[in-house]
């Protein structure tokens, strides 16, 4: 249930509603917009009588949220959320570009890529220190050493860092080196991990599971939001279908669908979505046309030697070409890159 307060409702009136929600054993979550405050009720609502709230001073109306995700819904938060970190705003008019290697391999490799990306106006560097791989014999990442490399490159370049965390016990350690904690596709329903990053309060990039529905993605986001951490971005990165030509099938439908259902910023990963570097550019354009708030692109100076996902990585010159073609497209849509 959500409770919509009247325009200009006083602080005391809002606090009275919050107190009654807590008295009934539920948790209130406030969404304070430009004109109105909306209070979400999380918990067992069966004991609630909406009429009791309707009669309270400052309350305009009460509404039942029929969808299973409450805090992630547009009903709870009509305005698109903007996630801010290290000078970057995700969810505004500017499309956020996040790029970098699939895996951190060395300080020299990471620094070289970061400098090339920064020259193209990219302010957010992605790189994996922990790599969940299908095969136990594949490169699993440098771990803590990789995090230290990312932190050093951040210090040298001023770029924000996005990197994946896989285990609840590593959340604190990863957060010391990164600006955004990524929850990968394989961990989208790792509920202990979702609780951990929710409690931490740091920005979270939540990727859609490879066989997960849009509703399941938003329900995973709900776990993070339920701890009061509103800094959540969701990412479409392709789902598994019967098609084998591409690594995954990137669900362009998900971008406008999620933006209708939810207030959370939506990003697209055309690298994992296709698995083929030559398809990254057209799919990136399609994602922006569909309304994506940002893109995640894998870039490597020598993809043929990459320790992880070289086939889907752009060389720096190809990334430069992509940026040059995306800028006029974004401008035509009233946005910028």
DSSP3 helix / strand / coil % (the chain, rounded to 5): 40, 20, 40
Instruction: Answer positive or negative: Cα dihedral of 165, 169, 175, 176.
Output: negative
Each domain of the chain, given as residue ranges in start order, spans 2-63, 83-332
- Answer for the pair 238, 56: CB distance below 8 angstroms, yes or no: no
Domains 2-63 and 83-332 share a fold: no
Bridge partners, 232 (sequence order)? 204
Which residue, 165, 133, 155, 126, is CA-closest to 295? Answer: 126
Q: What is the mean pLDDT of the chain?
A: 94
pLDDT attached to residue 47: 66
Q: Does residue 265 carry a pLDDT above 70?
A: yes
* Region of 132 on the Ramachandran plot (φ > 0 left; ψ -120 to 50 alpha; else beta): beta
CA–chain centroid gap for 76, Å, is 18
Q: Hey, what CATH topology would domain 83-332 get? A: TIM Barrel (3.20.20)
Distance, CA of 24 to CA of 50 (rounded, Å): 12
Half-sphere exposure of residue 291, counting CA atoms within 13 Å on the CB side? 14
| CATH number for the segment(s) 2-63 | 3.30.70.1140
pLDDT of residue 322: 98
Give the pLDDT of residue 173.
96
**Phi, psi for residue 181 in degrees, rounded to 5:** -95, 120
Dump pLDDT digits (tens) for 40-93: 888 776 667 777 888 899 999 888 877 889 999 998 888 899 999 999 999 999
Q: What percentage of residues in the chain have a pLDDT greater than 70?
A: 99
Q: Is 87 exposed, middle or buried (0-12, 13-18, 19+ CB in 10 A)?
A: exposed
Mean per-residue pLDDT for 1-24? Answer: 90
Q: CB under 8 Å to 117, separation ≥6 — which residues?
A: 99, 100, 125, 159, 299, 316, 319
- Read off the pLDDT of each residue in 313-326 and give the average, rounded to a whole number: 98
Percent of the chain having pLDDT more than 90? 79
Does the structure show a pLDDT above 90 at 139?
A: no
Q: Which long-range contacts (CB under 8 A, 24 or more apart) does 212-217 make?
A: 212/185, 212/188, 212/239, 214/254, 214/257, 214/258, 214/261, 215/67, 215/68, 215/69, 216/188, 216/189, 217/188, 217/258
Rg (CA), the chain: 21
Specify the DSSP class assigned to residue 158.
Answer: -
Report residue 317's pLDDT band, with 50, 70 and 90 as the boundaries: very high
- Say if strands 294-298 and 96-100 run parallel, antiparallel, or are unpaired: parallel
User: pLDDT per residue over 148-181, tens digit each?
Assistant: 999 999 999 999 999 999 999 999 999 999 999 9
Which whole number is the average pLDDT over 276-298?
98
- What is the per-residue DSSP string for 281-313? HHHHHHHHHHT-SEEEEEB-S-GGG-SS-GGGP
Query: What's the rounded Cα separation, in Å, for the pair 275 and 237?
Result: 10
């Amino acid at each position: 249930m959500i409770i919509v307060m009247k325009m200009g409702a006083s602080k005391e009136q809002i606090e009275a509603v919050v107190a009654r929600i807590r008295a009934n054993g539920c948790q209130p979550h406030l969404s304070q917009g430009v004109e109105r405050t909306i209070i979400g009720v999380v918990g067992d609502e069966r004991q609630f009588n909406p009429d009791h709230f309707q009669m309270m001073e400052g309350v305009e109306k009460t509404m039942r949220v029929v969808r299973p995700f409450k805090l992630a819904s547009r009903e709870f938060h009509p305005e698109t959320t903007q996630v801010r970190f290290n000078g970057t705003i995700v969810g505004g008019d500017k499309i956020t570009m996040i790029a970098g290697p699939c895996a951190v391999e060395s300080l020299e490799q990471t620094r070289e890529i970061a400098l090339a990306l920064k020259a193209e106006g990219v302010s957010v560097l992605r790189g994996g220190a922990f790599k969940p791989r299908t095969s136990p014999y594949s490169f699993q990442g440098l771990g803590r050493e990789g995090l230290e490399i990312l932190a050093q490159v951040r210090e040298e370049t001023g770029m924000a860092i996005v990197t994946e965390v896989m285990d609840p016990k590593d959340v604190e350690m990863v957060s010391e080196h990164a600006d955004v904690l990524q929850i990968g596709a394989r961990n989208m329903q790792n509920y202990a991990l979702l609780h951990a990053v929710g409690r931490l309060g740091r920005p979270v990039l939540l990727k859609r599971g490879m066989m997960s529905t849009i509703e399941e993605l938003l329900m995973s986001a709900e776990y993070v939001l339920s701890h009061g951490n509103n800094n959540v971005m969701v990412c479409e990165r392709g789902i598994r279908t019967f098609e084998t030509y591409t690594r995954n099938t990137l669900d362009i439908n998900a971008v406008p669908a999620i933006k209708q259902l939810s207030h959370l910023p939506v990003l697209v990963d055309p690298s994992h979505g296709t698995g083929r570097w030559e398809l990254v550019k057209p799919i990136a354009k399609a994602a922006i046309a569909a309304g994506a708030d940002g893109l995640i692109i894998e870039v490597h100076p020598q993809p043929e030697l990459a320790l992880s996902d070289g086939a889907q990585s752009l060389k720096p010159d190809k990334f430069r070409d992509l940026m040059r073609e995306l800028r006029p497209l974004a401008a035509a849509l009233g946005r910028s890159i």
